[in-house]
Chain A
């Protein structure tokens, strides 16, 4: 088992390693262990940008051992929500950490000057990053670091762009070009610590208890992932396949959720993007290769017969946030904006929602063009590209505030009714019914992936009592704590069912029965909820934007009472935990 924890102290440029078998035996790994390490190493009331704020990266017993166990959990205090920040990324993050021999990495303190950290198996180096600080394009940063450091093929280069340096509260951390610790502002926390990148290079293996059993269960998982229907969607069009059906059913947020269908959905559909797929790429140790990359061929502005080809990965959430939500009409327009958002290292979902709110606030006269500098209009990609630059450089008060998220911006300028944040986290791309919205509200990260309410909506003809719906969503979220403790990709949830998880754990040295596994998920969930409370979470303060009651969903218009009852019920659970 991976039980070693690497502690890195940026204030003293020191590191140490401890065997924390105790934690991994009780809390599995990933989310389960990260909650404990954050509790041990940080005062929950601290400001996320304080020197004492802590970042945990954790992997689990299945990483580097089985296919699709490709994720790392990052846990920190979010500068966006001022509550738990938890974000998952694939690429090579998890396999590099696991192959370097660690179950978790804990980063504390703050560097006096810009550095990047290199973990090379058992050694840690602090490298001078003054020369690369200020390079805003995260791709360039990675290319430079890759030239300097060892470990081609076995390392992960987790870095920030301009957004993280400038402390945009929804700056992401990008890795292997196309994967992100996207949500809740990890990039800004790294930026506040003067850390431009964390490089982890791992080349190792761990012993297996029972070789034969290991190979058998490995093959079973491999076959399920490649031959069964369990992951079909991701093999084919990817999550972008959702655009058309959601548009037809009226669940697709369009122009700041004024509408839920759009005449441009066809142009922005998975089918339409498939026409320009340039290649596919995979996270390390994943046979599916769900990363769909569009090739955008653009002529030079002034020279005929010269072209550049940008390779951009897209998925449903990106198409929603930077496409339909902003009224984009052509896929090229969307891709150009995406390119900018990616280069600066912004969370695409939050950026899209912030810009959509700003566009409507401008339409309504709550803010003026003096604030926005460019005339923001739905469908105007060039204006949005400009605005993204201003989010990074923050030339005026308006952009300084918008760089703090839509909750904050609407507190200052008004327009809360159409500021689409839940628990201060900007809305994901599903206006599918009660379960989606209640899911965002009660999910411990306020993410659609916490409990998959959007999926519940699409499976239900009618709704149970709100209390029952809350129970159902919580149950799903509790099981997902197990998945994110192992740590497997949520897209593989159809493969990693309790029975197979227990059998996969045995050869890597963990004996656990199915019931006990499910019980652990519940325990981890409540540990996380208690940490959330300690950080100041109060379910009764959850704000529900009016807009969601005004716009049609696939289940018709939503009723406020139902959602209020759900929140009330959840608030009771929070109080008693």
Chain B
């Protein structure tokens, strides 16, 4: 399997829930806000329990792409997906198919998904995210 660069988590326990990554993703598309963001910062049942981020883990056999009726969402070599908005009818099948809920619905009904460009990693101020070439099983590494 070809190894490709992807957005990875260095240490999820360091996440402060600021959402800087989430704003970066939409900004990359020329938007001020989060409509197009493929990453979501959340608290863990309230900030007293901490925070985390949710985004595509770059499956090598992506169910989201398998259920796409138009081929707008396609498996990318090396893991994850490529998405062509103009081919997307906004059925939302992919959103349902992703087990980790890493596809989000935009205000126009179409999906927002991480395409592993790495832009947001530059804006994570706390060492949670990085853009690296890794083995698929290294995705969620155990750090302490």
Contacts and interface: CB of A to CB of B under 8 A. Distances in A.
Interface of A: 64-65, 67, 95, 98-99, 121, 139, 142-143, 146, 152-154, 176-178, 203-208, 211, 214-215, 218, 222, 226, 279-289, 293, 311, 507-508
Contacts of B54: 153
Contacts of B98: none
A281 B16 contact: yes
Given A203-B105, A507-B32, 9 more contacts: A99-B34, A143-B45, A143-B46, A154-B34, A178-B48, A215-B27, A279-B50, A284-B18, A293-B48
Contact of B32 (A121, A154, A214, A226): A214
A288 to B, nearest CB: 8
A-B CB proximity, top 7 nearest: A205-B33, A205-B31, A282-B18, A205-B35, A153-B42, A65-B32, A287-B125
A204 B106 CA distance: 7
Given A146-B45, A177-B46, A203 B32 contact: no
Interface string B56-98: 0000000000000000000000000000000000000000000
B108 to A, nearest CB: 10
Contact of B17 (A67, A154, A214, A282): A282
B19 interface: yes
B110 to A, nearest CB: 13
A139 B30 CA distance: 37
A152 B42 contact: yes
7 contacts: A95-B19, A99-B34, A152-B42, A178-B48, A203-B104, A284-B17, A285-B18
A208 B46 contact: no
A267 B1 CA distance: 57
B33 A204 contact: yes
Contacts of A99: 33-35
A203 B107 contact: yes
B20 A208 contact: no
Given A218-B27, A283-B18, A287-B20, A177 B45 contact: no
A205 B18 contact: no
Contacts of A284: 17-19, 41
A139 B16 contact: no
Most buried by A among B19, B54, B104: B19
Given A218-B27, A222-B123, A289-B126, A280 B16 contact: yes
B45 A214 contact: no
A139 B46 contact: yes
Contact of A311 (B17, B26, B48): B48
B35 A203 contact: yes
B19 A285 contact: yes
Contact of A176 (B31, B32, B43, B105): B43
B70 to A, nearest CB: 24
Contacts of B41: 153, 284
Interface string B14-40: 001111100100110011111110001
A285 B125 CA distance: 11
Contacts, number: 110
A211 B29 CA distance: 9
Contacts of A176: 43, 47
Contacts of B16: 279-282, 289
B32 A508 contact: yes
B107 A121 contact: yes
A512 to B, nearest CB: 18
A286 B41 CA distance: 12
A139 B46 CA distance: 8
B115 interface: no
B51 interface: yes
Contacts of A215: 27
A177 B123 CA distance: 25
B18 A286 contact: yes
Nearest to A153: B42
A215 B51 CA distance: 27
B18 A287 contact: yes
A508 B125 CA distance: 24
Nearest to A99: B33
B18 A142 contact: no
B98 to A, nearest CB: 15
A218 B51 CA distance: 24
Nearest to B29: A205
Contacts of B105: 203
B30 to A, nearest CB: 4
A154 B46 contact: no
Nearest to A226: B125
Contacts of B125: 226, 287-289
Contacts of A211: 30
Nearest to B101: A152
Nearest to A309: B48
Contacts of B43: 153, 176-177
Contact of A207 (B23, B31, B50, B51): B31
Nearest to B49: A311
B72 to A, nearest CB: 20
B17 A208 contact: no
Contacts of B19: 95, 153, 282, 284-285
A520 B33 CA distance: 26
Contacts of A121: 107
